[in-house]
Amino acid sequence: MDILITLIPFLPLLGAAVNGLVGARLPERVVGWLGSGAVLVSFLLSLYLFAHLHGGAEPVRTTLYPFIAVDSFHVDFAFLVDPLSVWMMLIVTGVGLLIHVYSIGYMHGDAGFWRFFAYLNLFIFSMLLLVMGDNLVMLFFGWEGVGLCSYLLIGFWYDNRAYGKAARKAFVMNRIGDLGLLLGLFLIFAVFDSFAYADIFARLPVLRLDPAVLTAVGLLLFVGAVGKSAQIPLFTWLPDAMAGPTPVSALIHAATMVTAGIYLVARCHPLFSLAPTALEVVAFIGLLTSLVAGLIALRQNDIKKVLAYSTVSQLGLMFLALGMGAYAAAMFHVTTHAFFKALLFLGAGSVIHALGGEQDIRHMGGLRRALPVTYWTFLLATLAISGVPLLSGFFSKDEILANTFAGVGVGWWVLAALGGGLTALYMSRLLFVTFFGTFRGTEEQRADLHESPHVMTVPLIILAVLSVAGGLLNLPHLLHVPGAEWLAHFLSPSVGESRPAHLLSAQTEWLLMGAASLLALSAIAWAYWAYGVRQRVPQDEAQLSAVERVFASKFYFDEFYDWAIVRPVERLSQLLHYYADVWAIDGFVNGIGSAVQRIGTEFRRLQNGNIEYYLLGMVVGAVLLFLSLWL
């Protein structure tokens, strides 16, 4: 058992090592299937562990070796396989596997093919460490690894300056969050004297901590989650992360990276449950992000940017669920979101692939005939994320909305439902503008339109099936079917049973469900009428109204950060450069040099080569010596 658990993260690492070291000399086919094979085996092993746990086995803890042992400070390199982590492992390796296979087709012919697969495998390894770690140090290890890999992959085409900048931006924004996480870890160690989950949660009820301390811990951890999961105010890196190849976007947005924040909060739920203030902040930030990102997505014209903001807004909904204490609901949405968001990104990649790199939806249109598989799978994903009844997104979003209603009341529910409605609106706008109407690209692109190869479409079809059927994992209990709330039951040993939605009456729930579905369907209908029937094309920025321009400019977040932080820091750096560095430090060092030189110039006159002169000096010296002795 231990060896199986150990293999799960280390196989992708091995794949990364082989591809990274000798991949350049291997043929593309070998590199691709080696990378995918490593993840496939990890996925199968995860499935085995899942079956093992599902059969009622206890969570397994495996210690490889003591990682750090200094006096009483003790951290093990240990893995914990419990329902929560095995579920995350399934998502990471399962969706990751499909993305790997897809990449074989998408990255075909790229000069950095082997590098790409090495990075992808390293990414999977980091993410697996993050979710499998038995303590917060292991989590932090994976957390940083994921950050590094995202940097490498976003800047994969590093000869493009803008992409390199986007990669750095992602890294720096993540570091800001990481600082919060790190401080949170320090505080946890100061309070609990251990980093292991088991120790922390066992000591939690015994210690009778000051609620303020718990709130501080919760908020600091949440700062880390905000950075990694792209919430306000640190979300601006995620849309820029679109610079990476499209499978990377799928990997970052669906299976790995951004779900790390959700996982962190869900994993530390005993802490958060005792810190209601922190949970309120989580919920508030989640809701706010969901709405703001939804509004921004309405007026984006880059196919990948729309999807990026959609991810931000869906993550907002997940944090809202976490804030309500509905951890299982959040994990459910993580799961369904992984399916349809991976599908959407891979579909978008297929479109971009077909159009030879075109990403602007204004230059697309009418693609449904040329790309039938992409169209149908994209359609299903759009319907799923919009919350059309019976598809996976409907159930997971409904769970969140019901919990919001039960947790804080109708006001928050309306806002959250609006966030869901916005999702339906911008996603169907994207769908209709891209696939309906007439083709608006160049003649060259029209002649070259082609459906992607099987290695790309098969993952799309698998993900489409999952997007449609994903709701079966966690059917609402009011349907009274066998297997209802299966996922929540499965996860309950890890994340507890807290589900405020159970307090609601059946009628209320039906009503909420109906209202949310109606909202989603009417949003889709409106988008169909505007973009499908009347074939409206998004306008240029100049023609937008003032409010729309605010959306299109992302609420001026980047401009604000530039003005409030980047520019002052740059100014300060310049001042420091001129005054502290050039003037003070360089002046001092160079001053010593030139002073020595000047003194030397004066003293060299003594060395005039004239023996008489030296002898005179000697005699005078001797006389003075005698005089001094005599006196």
Contact residues for another protein (CB under 8 A)? 604-612, 615-616, 619
CB 608, min distance to another protein, A: 5
Half-sphere exposure of 51 (CA within 13 A, CB side): 6
In the complex with another protein, which residue's Cβ is closer, 205 or 617?
617
Can you tell me the distance from the alpha carbon of 185 to that of 204, in angstroms, rounded to the nearest whole number?
Answer: 15
CB 597, min distance to another protein, A: 14
Helices (H), 391-533: 392-408, 410-435, 443-448, 454-469, 486-495, 506-527
Half-sphere exposure of 446 (CA within 13 A, CB side): 9
In the complex with another protein, which residue's Cβ is closer, 65 or 603?
603
CB 613, min distance to another protein, A: 9
CB 148, min distance to another protein, A: 59
In the complex with another protein, which residue's Cβ is closer, 68 or 620?
620
Which two tokens mark 159?
A: 């000869």
Q: Which residues pair with 60 in a beta bridge?
A: 81
Token pair 């109708």 in the structure block, residue = 410
Which two tokens mark 176?
A: 């800001």
SS (H, E, C) 13-50: HHHHHHHHHHHHHCCHHHHHHHHHHHHHHHHHHHHHHH
Coil, helix or strand for 440?
coil
Find the largest Cα–Cα distance for the chain.
Answer: 119
In the complex with another protein, which residue's Cβ is closer, 510 or 626?
626
In the complex with another protein, which residue's Cβ is closer, 573 or 608?
608
CB 591, min distance to another protein, A: 24
CB 610, min distance to another protein, A: 5
Q: Which residues of 387-425 are buried (b: 16+ CB within 10 A; e: fewer)?
A: bbbebbbbbbbbbbbbbbbbbbeeebbebbbbbbbbbbb
CB 624, min distance to another protein, A: 14
CB 578, min distance to another protein, A: 39
In the complex with another protein, which residue's Cβ is closer, 480 or 604?
604
CB 603, min distance to another protein, A: 8
In the complex with another protein, which residue's Cβ is closer, 503 or 615?
615
Of 504, 344, 470, nearest in space to 396 by CA? 470
In the complex with another protein, which residue's Cβ is closer, 447 or 629?
629
Give every CB contact of residue 34 below 8 A, 6+ residues apart in sequence.
Answer: 15, 18, 19, 26, 117
Which two tokens mark 111?
A: 């000069």
In the complex with another protein, which residue's Cβ is closer, 444 or 612?
612
Are residues 64 and 44 in contact, defined by beta-carbon separation less than 8 angstroms? Answer: no
In the complex with another protein, which residue's Cβ is closer, 574 or 608?
608
Of 463, 471, 244, nearest in space to 374 by CA? 463
Which two tokens mark 8?
A: 């799960």
SS (H, E, C) 199-223: HHHHHHHHHCCCHHHHHHHHHHHHH
Can you tell me the distance from the alpha carbon of 372 to that of 404, in angstroms, rounded to the nearest whole number?
Answer: 38
In the complex with another protein, which residue's Cβ is closer, 158 or 613?
613
CB 618, min distance to another protein, A: 10
Give every CB contact of residue 99 below 8 A, 6+ residues apart in sequence.
Answer: 120, 247, 250, 251, 254, 255, 342, 346, 459
CB 588, min distance to another protein, A: 28
CB 601, min distance to another protein, A: 10
Can you tell me the distance from the alpha carbon of 78 to that of 61, in angstroms, rounded to the nearest whole number?
Answer: 7
First to last CA, the chain: 95
Coil, helix or strand for 582?
helix
Can you tell me the distance from the alpha carbon of 73 to that of 57, in angstroms, rounded to the nearest whole number?
Answer: 31
CB 628, min distance to another protein, A: 19
Of 29, 28, 24, nearest in space to 115 by CA? 24
In the complex with another protein, which residue's Cβ is closer, 208 or 605?
605
CB 621, min distance to another protein, A: 13
In the complex with another protein, which residue's Cβ is closer, 582 or 615?
615
Half-sphere exposure of 515 (CA within 13 A, CB side): 16
CB 587, min distance to another protein, A: 29
In the complex with another protein, which residue's Cβ is closer, 73 or 614?
614
In the complex with another protein, which residue's Cβ is closer, 25 or 605?
605
Are residues 102 and 247 in contact, defined by beta-carbon separation less than 8 angstroms? Answer: yes
Are residues 361 and 301 in contact, defined by beta-carbon separation less than 8 angstroms? Answer: yes
